[in-house]
Structure 1
Amino acid sequence: MVKALDEQRQAHATYDSLGFEDRLGLLVDREAAERDAKRLIGRLKFAALRQAACVEDLDLRIPRGIDRAVMAHLVDGAWIGRHENLLITGPTGLGKSWIACALGHKACRDGRRVAYHRVPRLFEALAIARGDGRHARTLKAIERTELLILDDWGLSVLSVPERRDLLEILEDRHGRGSTIVTSQLPVEHWHETIGDPTLADAILDRLVHNAHRLPLAGESMRKRAVTMKPLDLSGRA
C-alpha cells in the first residue's frame, strides 16, 4: 500500500481528481493483488511442477484424442473440489506430463495446494525418509495436498515397500484430495505393474473407481517437431 501511495503522489495529476474513498480503494486493491501474487508464487514453489505449462497454451488442434468438452471440464477444476482423480494414459511423447502440469498450474492459480512427483523419485525419497525418521511426516505432507500429481507411473513393477507406501498415500487421500496419474500403460495393465494381487485391488479401488480418464493417442509430438520441415527464409519456393 505504501508503494501504491508513492505512485499516486508521483502521478498526482492522474489521481487528484479522485475522492478519498476511490484512492483508498485503489490502495486496498493493490495490497490484495500483491498478497495474492505472493501466495501464488509460494504455491507454485511448493508444487515444483516439472514443466512451465498453463492450460491457455494447450493446443487442441494436434490430433491426440482430446475431447474439448472433457478438457474444459478438467480445466474448470470442480472435480478437484469433489476429490475425484484423473488418469492420463498414452504412448510417450503425447504431452501427458505437460497436461498434468498445466492442470496443476491452474489449480495453484485457483488457490489449491498442489504437489508434483515423478513416481520413481517419490519412492526413493520415501525410502530415504524411512531411514532418517521423516517417513510419517512426509506422508502427512502428501496427505494435505489438495492435488497430487504422480508422473511416469508404471515404469517398473513395484517393490513391497513401494506398494505399501502407495497404498498408504491413496488411503490417506481417499475422499480428501485428488490425484492425477500419468502412465504409458493402459489402466487395464496397472494391476500387473503393482505386483501383489491383494494390494493391487486395494490400490486401484481407491484410485480408479472415481477417476476421469484421458486416454491420448496419436503420433509423438517430439517426433513431429523433429520431422517438421524447417521454415525456408531464403526466398526460394
Structure 2
Amino acid sequence: MLNHPTVERLHQLRLPGMARALASQAQSPEIGQLSFEERLGLLVDCEAAERESRQNTARLKRAGLKQAATPEDVNFRHPRRLDRALFARLMTGRWVSDHQNVLICGPTGIGKTYLACALANQACRQGHSVLYVRLTRLLPALAIGRGDGSYLKLLAQLAKTEVLVIDEWALAPLSDDSRRDLLEIFDDRHGTRSTIITSQLQVEHWHASIGDPTLADAILDRLVHQAHTLDLDGESLRKPEKPV
C-alpha cells in the first residue's frame, strides 16, 4: 500500500531504476516469496543497470562516432583478412588498460571506420572516454586554435581522452605545423592513453607519408611500437551485394 508514495519519493531522489523496479515488483504475485534482502538486491541491481546505461549513452554522445557500429554486428564472413582472434582479444579491452594502440589499414570501402567505431563503442561500454576525429578536420582545427587561443585547450582535451579515434590518416600531405601537432598529440598520449588509427596506407608507408624523417621517427616511435595492427584487404563492402 505504501508503494505509490515510495515510488514518487525514489523519483525525487533521482533513483528511477529503483522506482521502476519497485513498481514492477508490486505487479508480481510471486514477489512475496522473496526475502526483504533479495527484493532490495533486485532494486539496487536495477538502479545500477539504469545508471550504467545512462552513463554509456552519455559517453557515446560525447565520442561522436561516425558510425553506430557495435561489435556484435561486425561482418566476419566477408573475405577481407580480418583477424578474428585478434579482434576478439581487442574486445576484452586489455589494450586500453595497457595503453596500447590499434592500427587499421586497408583499401577504401573495406570497413576500417566501422571496425574502429565498433572498438570505440566497446571501450565506451567498458567505461572509457572516447573521441572520434577525422585527421583532415583535426589538423585545421588545431591551426585555427593557434589564432584564437584554443590550441592548448584542444591539446588538453585530446590528451585526457582515454581512447582517441583518428580516421583517414595520411590522406593528404602534412605541413610542418601539422607534423609538429601530431608529435605533440602522441607525445602527450604515449604510455598513458590509447589511440585507434585508420589508413588506406600500410604502416610501412607511414614514415614516408609524414614527410620529415626526424619528425616521422618521433611520431611513429610513440604510435607504432605498442600497437596491434589489423591489416585488411579485399573487395569493398560498399557494393550492394556485400553490405557491411
Q: With structure 1 as the length reference, what TM-score do the two structures score?
A: 0.90
Decide whether aligned partners of structure 1 residues 73 and 20 sit closer, same or farther in structure 2, where only a CA change above 3 A counts: same
* Alignment counterpart, residue 29 of structure 1, candidates 26, 42, 45: 45
The alpha carbon displacement at 1:167 in A equals 0.5
1:189 positional shift: 1.5
Map of 2:221 onto structure 1: 205
Does 1:17 find its partner at 2:33? yes
Residues 62-105 of structure 1: per-residue CA shift (max 9 Å, x gap): 10011221121122221111111111111101000000000000
Q: Helix, strand or coil for the counterpart of 1:16?
A: helix
Distance of 1:125 and 1:144 partners within structure 2: 18
Q: Aligned pairs, how many?
A: 226
Match of 2:85 in 1: 69
Runs of 4+ in 1 over 4 A off after TM superposition: none
Judge conservation of contact 1:157–1:192 (CA < 8 Å) in 2: no
Partner of 1:42: 58
Q: Distance in 1 between matches of 2:185 and 2:120?
A: 18
Pairing partner for 2:69 from 53, 63, 69: 53
1:147-162 aligned at under 5 Å gives the runs: 147-162=163-178
Which residue number in structure 2 is paired with residue 168 of structure 1? 184
Q: Does residue 131 of structure 2 align to residue 115 of structure 1?
A: yes
What residue in structure 1 maps to residue 121 of structure 2?
A: 105
For structure 2, the residue ranges without an aligned partner over 5 or more in a row are 1-17
Residue pairs, 1:71-90, within 5 angstroms: 71-90=87-106
Mapped partners of 1:82, 1:216: distance in 2: 24
Larger deviation, residues 27-36 vs 68-77: 68-77
Please show how residues 172-183 of structure 1 align to structure 2 within 5 Å.
Answer: 172-183=188-199
Looking at structure 2, the residues matched to 227 and 208 of structure 1 have their Cα atoms a distance apart, in angstroms, of 32
Query: 8 Å contact 1:167–1:202 — kept in the other structure?
Result: yes
Establish whether residue 8 from structure 1 lines up as the match of residue 25 from structure 2.
yes
Partner of 1:61, secondary structure, is coil
Deviations 1:211-237, CA, capped at 9 Å, x for gaps: 1111101111113x2589xxxxxxxxx
Which AA in structure 2 matches 1:164? R
Identify which of 173, 183, 186 aligns with 2:202: 186
With the length of structure 2 as denominator, give the TM-score of the two structures. Answer: 0.88
- SS in structure 1 opposite 2:238? helix
Q: Which amino acid aligns with 2:20?
A: K
The one-letter code of the counterpart of 2:204 is E
Unmatched 5+ stretches in structure 1: 229-237
How far 1:12 sits from its partner (Å)? Answer: 4.8
Structure 1, 71-80 or 173-182: larger mean CA deviation: 71-80
Identity of aligned residues (%): 56
Q: Does residue 238 of structure 2 align to residue 222 of structure 1? A: yes
* Aligned amino acid, residue 219 of structure 2: I
